[in-house]
Structure 1
Amino acid sequence: MNVNLPHDLPAVEVSDILAREKAYSQDLQRSGKWRHIWRIAGRYANISIFDVSDNEELHRLLSGLPLFKFMEIEVMPLLRHPSAVRDDDR
């Protein structure tokens, strides 16, 4: 996920969007749907792991992000590799 906020967006609007984004993403993390999130160093971007039942659910969750209209999102489906030595994602 790459975030591209317009430079002319009023600071008060940016603050509001970021607060709503944080609350929404942390709720999804607590629910187990947003399993992991990592910042990409030096960029306003992240790599995230979601645990969803299907593409429709993923689309619904992503499009619910307050920053969604300012994001470029690349989706890459993942599944556990048969040679993995762990049964979970620690």
Structure 2
Amino acid sequence: MLFMVQMQVNIPASIDKDTADALKKNEKEMSQKLQREGKWRDLWRVVGQYANVSIFNVSGNEELHQILSNLPLFPFMTISVTPLTQHPSAIAQID
């Protein structure tokens, strides 16, 4: 199943820089692992914000929930999830 996931990150200023840097490093490693596995299909930065729009290709709601809730920055995210299905006029086929 495909999902569009919008993530807004808000790391509190009270978190020390070393901790924030470690969280960001771990988040990057995890996101790249999931991309290589094909689960995190697309990752797009929202210009001017600490936010992204991503497309996930997972088995369903439960797998997506597990992935998102295990992200290192999850405690500092506001997340919006939209399930997707192919549009009948789309030329490209979903893999």
User: TM class by shorter-chain length?
Assistant: over 0.9
Q: Which amino acid aligns with 1:77?
A: P
Alignment partners' CA distance in 2, 1:84 and 1:12: 45
Structure ranking higher on relative contact order (CA contacts 8 Å, 6+ apart): 2
Q: Which amino acid aligns with 1:30?
A: R
Aligned: 1:36 with 2:78: no
Over residues 4-41 of structure 1, what are the superposed CA-to-partner deviations in whole Å (9 max), with x where a residue is unaligned?
00011101101110110000000000000000010000
Instruction: Please name the residue that 1:87 is paired with.
Output: 93
Q: 5+ unaligned residues in a row in structure 2: which ranges? A: 1-6
Aligned: 1:16 with 2:32: no
Q: Which amino acid aligns with 2:30?
A: Y
TM-score, length of structure 2 as denominator length: 0.90
Aligned-pair identity in percent equals 54
Instruction: Please name the residue that 1:55 is paired with.
Output: 61
Alignment partners' CA distance in 2, 1:86 and 1:25: 25
How far did 1:45 drift?
0.3
Q: Which amino acid aligns with 1:49?
A: I
Q: Which amino acid aligns with 2:11?
A: L
Aligned: 1:78 with 2:84: yes
RMSD of aligned residue pairs (Cα, Å):
1.0
Runs of 4+ residues deviating >3 angstroms: none
